[in-house]
Amino acid sequence: MGVVIESSVWVPSSSVYIFIFLSCFFSLSLFPFYLSKHAPTKSPPFYDHPTFASSLRFQRYFLLLYSLASVLEGLWSVYGEFELVYYGITKEVTVTFMLIGFGAALFVGSFLGLLSDLIGRKKSCLVFYIFHLVVGIWKRITSSPSFWVANVCLSLATSIFSFSFETWAVVEHDKGHRQDLLNETFWLMTFFESAALIGSQVMSNWMVGGNLEKEIACPSTAAILTAIVGIICISRVYGGSPQTVTFKEYKVSFYSYILCDRRIWLLACAQSCLHFSIVVFWILWAPTLVADGREVYLGLTYPCLLGARMLGSTLFPWFINAPLRTEDCLVYAFIIQGLLLSIIAFDYQEIGALVTQYFLFHACVGLILPSLARLRTMYVPNELRGGMISLSLAPTNAAILFILMQRGYYRTVENSEVIAFAAVGLFAAAGCMYVLKRLGKQPYQNWHKL
């Protein structure tokens, strides 16, 4: 008598999507009422401010460009894995491509922020779109594209994405625009980025469809068109400020204001630890979820995690208008993230419980990203911001390279050990925020102008 083993595929409940949508809606809807009653200081209505029109116009224009850039980032991250499988690339070769990409980000991308501060932030954003345009054309005209070339270009584009748009927004808001609008821009960047990543997944699935032979190049076409739109928009409007600082002056300023300031080192360490945990998560979330042969619809789980990040970003304006300091908020958020990754690393759980912890982790990410951006505005001079961000990511890329070699080639570490190491980094980030609070001046001083 044969034994029939029934296998079930885990799918997120539709109530999860409804919960995320309603939570974001109520968080955004109720915040104005909270602000009117609990704001620490009363400010004049935003529409009475003389620069209201120009500030709002720039914010909308900037968020449009940032959303287009996020779509490009998400398009290749979703479509790239499918493309490797389609062309029959083995796991070992895939690891090699990842090593090449992170190597380019480490040895070249770490210094692009310094270059951005010298040549201008708008030009850096333009280079980002050009990289994606080149990769899209390369994949469109070649039947069997060279993936290492594409990986290098996309890795450098991701490095530029990590600092150029934020730096550009801060510099533009410093030209007489309202500074409270800058805090709003920070969390809207996280919100729109997450929404754009979900949209890029939908776009990729729709374009590929069922006919792989004919539709395999469609995402490349979409990337080309999106990059062209971004290049046109960024070239025609809002010309960048002329860069008058010389390399010698920049070097002296960077040494004085960045390398000699302990607070910047603490902020950079926390930023690096967060970025490392996010990269580790996206590399290992799927293998952890489908461990022991469990079946999961990853394509339906992915939007839930990004939705959690959107929800976390909507909590940011609540916290910055509360008596709690930003550093205190980050201490608690980092500790929660560290505990979640510790549980994921060492405690085998059912899929539902594991996805819940993934959800909470990304909700914390949505809160932490704009909070760190706010702290950078408080402590890092605008003229040095890009270099500080790109150099702070160098330890992350070096650690990822080391882990990929140990795990991908030599098999000397397990996935659980890598996740545990990321958890330790998050606890270290919480310690950095605690020390930063003790070193920071009371009250805050906005000294980001040299």
Q: In whole angstroms, how far apart are CA 270 and each of 94, 244, 342, 428, 439?
A: 29, 31, 18, 7, 15
* Residue at 102 is within a domain: yes
Bridge-based pairing state of the strands 9-10 and 295-296: parallel
| pLDDT for the residue numbered 449 | 47
* 46: in domain: no
Q: Which two tokens stand for residue 17?
A: 């999507």
Range of the domain at 165: 59-438
Q: At what angle do helices 112-119 and 247-254 cross, to 10 degrees?
A: 120
Residues in the chain: 450
Q: What is the identity of the amino acid at 440? A: G
Q: Could you read off the pLDDT tens digit of each residue along the chain, which spans 450 residues?
A: 444 444 568 888 889 999 999 999 999 988 887 776 665 554 444 444 555 567 788 888 899 999 999 999 998 887 777 777 777 788 888 888 899 999 999 999 999 999 999 998 889 999 999 999 999 898 888 766 677 888 899 999 999 999 999 999 998 887 755 667 888 999 999 999 999 999 888 887 777 665 555 566 677 888 999 999 999 998 886 555 556 678 889 999 999 999 999 999 999 999 999 999 999 999 999 888 887 677 888 888 999 999 999 999 999 999 888 788 899 999 999 999 999 999 998 877 788 889 999 999 999 999 999 999 999 999 999 899 999 999 999 999 999 999 999 988 888 888 899 999 999 999 999 999 999 998 865 444 444 444
Residue 236 is which amino acid? R
- Residue 10, φ and ψ in degrees, nearest 5: -80, 130
pLDDT for residue 46:
43
In a domain, 20, yes or no: no
Give a yes or no: residue 421 inside a domain: yes
Coil, helix or strand for 49?
coil
- The radius of gyration computed from the CA coordinates of the chain, to the nearest angstrom, equals 22
Report how many domains make up the chain.
Answer: 1
Q: Which residues have a Cβ under 8 Å from the Cβ of 121 and sit 6 or more positions away?
A: 164, 167, 168, 171, 240, 386
Q: How far apart are CA 338 and CA 347, in angstroms?
A: 14
CA distance readout (Å), 395 to 95, 165, 271, 390, 411: 19, 22, 10, 10, 22
225 belongs to a structural domain: yes
Distance (Å, whole) CA 122 – CA 62? 11
- Report yes or no on 86 lying in a domain: yes
Backbone angles phi, psi at 35, to 5 degrees: -65, -40
Give the pLDDT confidence score for residue 160 in this predicted structure. 96
Among 318, 358, 344, 337, CA closest to 433:
337
Query: What percentage of the chain's residues is helix, strand, coil (to nearest 5)?
Result: 80, 0, 20
Supply the pLDDT for residue 347.
76
Q: List the CATH number of the domain containing 196.
A: 1.20.1250.20
d(CA 165, CA 58): 13
Is the CB of residue 186 less than 8 Å from the CB of residue 316? yes
User: 253-260: long-range contacts at Cβ-Cβ below 8 A with a sequence spacing of 24 or more?
Assistant: 253/381, 253/383, 253/384, 253/450, 254/114, 254/384, 254/387, 257/380, 257/381, 257/384, 257/450, 258/380, 258/384, 258/387, 258/388
Within a domain: residue 204?
Answer: yes
Per-residue tokens: 341: 């990754």
Check residue 447 and give its pLDDT.
Answer: 45
With H, G, I as helix, E, B as strand and everything else as coil, classify residue 378.
helix
Region label for 120, one of left (φ > 0), alpha (ψ between -120 and 50) or beta (otherwise)? left
Longest dimension (CA), the chain: 83
pTM, 2 dp: 0.91
Handedness of CA 260, 266, 268, 269 (dihedral sign): positive
Residue 238 is encoded by which pair of tokens? 């809002």
Neighbouring CB atoms inside 10 A of 11's CB total 13
| Inside any domain, residue 178 | yes
